[in-house]
Amino acid sequence: MPLTIGVPKETQDGETRVALIPSVAERLHTTLGDVEIRVERGAGRSAFHNDDAYEDAGCAVTSRAEVFAADVVAKVAAPSSDEVERLSEGQVLVGFLNPLDDPQTSRRLADAGVTALAMELVPRISRAQKMDALSAMSSLGGYRATIEAAERLPKFFPLLTTAAGTIRPAQVLVLGAGVAGLQAIATAKRLGAKVFGYDIRDATREEIESLGAKFVELELEMGDQEDESGYAKELQKEKQERQPELLQPHIAESDVVISTALIPGRPAPLLIREEAVEAMTPGSVIVDLAAPNGGNCAVTETGETVHAHDVTVMGPTNLPAKMAVHASQLYAKTVSVLIEEFVADGQFTPDFDDDIFDGTCLTHGGAVHNERVRDLLAEEA
Ligand code: NAD
């Protein structure tokens, strides 16, 4: 019996991505050999891959039921309750499973006996770089955040000298210079803006400056704010309170603020108070990429664009979905490499001695494997 891989049509509101695209499916046929890839009718439509293209790539275009009966189900967004109910013991689910924000879905997947691999949990080690879906999507999000800001800003981004006068370049401040923030900085620079970047991790100064942006220095004694995985550690309480106060003058001077600051598993830090929004020039724009985690800005409404004190404040939750072609292409690559890594002799083979499998595995054998998610579930109980 060949290994079967199922690719459902995503059902979450606004989700346009698909977990495997035809060219990546074609490659999987070559690398895995005896494999049957089942694609739900219309699954690639919103990413501009029609059913014929999947058939040409050797996939079976079929029903939702057939797709959810596959050995490995590859998804983008976390499964809905209906999707969890379709899965049963021994099946493998791969996707963004949102484990730290929604541990109950992990509990249900474990109860169903599903081996769930969460793309958010892929460890950030060099061997796993090709599977790092989070970075791939953050990069798209950072780029798109700048484009969205430029679209809404009632001003030019670049310096412009015209017969009617000189236009000063827009001033862009990016808060949080991880993968998304650095891409936002690079995009704003390419559009000709005057760009500033800020982060609490020491290592970011050089990265911000290497993109031609200026590093914002706050009078806040930091110490080493980076943990062993390269993520930021949460600031002590009094520094958390001082930070938005010290940032306020920098925010007030900016035409655009793109905020991306996150601490894994914690609510997003508050960096932009309502007073700071009020202090901005009318027409300014804030794009709060931390919106799904509560937002870095006090007036952000998750999933909405609001106007406060003549400032446009966007709280997008899924900017990669606005770039369905490249988002699906990059995501499909990361998922396919992860699947390939753990297929041996035509079967999906869990390997808990492997750091990547151990780190990515959310549920297996009826239990929640990830310790942080187990702790969260215990706290909720
Ligand atoms: P993230 O999305 O968790 O956070 C975004 C940024 O917010 C981070 O740079 C963080 O330092 C910053 N931040 C947190 N609290 C803040 C605060 N109060 N004020 C200002 N900024 C704050 O992070 P990420 O983009 O996923 O990546 C974080 C790190 O991991 C980066 O160093 C990145 O280069 C590294 N990384 C490594 C690999 C790898 O080794 N394979 C892959 C991807 C990312």
Percent of the chain clearing pLDDT 70 (strictly above): 99
Question: At 148, is the pLDDT very low, low, confident or very high (cuts 50, 70, 90)?
Answer: very high
Closest Cα partner for 287 from 172, 158, 133? 172
**Ligand 1 nearest atom to the CA of residue 207, by list position:** 34
Does ligand 1 have an atom closer than 6 angstroms to the CB of 216? no
More confident residue, 235 or 361: 361
Q: Indicate the burial class of 234 (C-beta count within 10 angstroms; 0-12, 13-18, 19 or more).
A: middle
pLDDT number for residue 219: 85
CA of 201 from ligand 1 middle (Å) equals 8
pLDDT at 221 over 80: no
* DSSP structure string for 239-298: HHHHHHHHHHHHHHT-SEEEE----TTSPPPP-B-HHHHHTSPTT-EEEETTGGGT-SBT
Q: What distance in angstroms lies between residue 263's CA and the mean position of ligand 1's atoms?
A: 8
User: What integer best gives the mean pLDDT of the chain?
Assistant: 95
Is the pLDDT at 146 greater than 90? The verdict is yes
- Spell 75-92 as b/e; 16+ CB within 10 A means b: bbbbbeeebbebbeeebb
Cα separation, 93 vs 95, in Å, equals 7
For the question of residue 129 being annotated catalytic, the response is yes
Residue of minimum CA distance from atom 41 in ligand 1: 124
- With the most atoms of ligand 1 within 8 angstroms of its CB, the residue from 228, 242, 262 to mutate is 262
Alpha carbon distance 276, 257 (integer Å): 11
Q: Give residue-wise pLDDT tens across range 56-86.
A: 999 999 999 999 999 999 999 999 999 999 9
**pLDDT tens for residues 307-339?**
999 999 999 999 999 999 999 999 999 999 999
pTM above 0.85, yes or no: yes
- Is residue 92 within a helix (H) or strand (E), and if so which, with residue range? strand 92-95
Ligand 1 binding pocket includes 200 (Cβ within 6 Å): yes
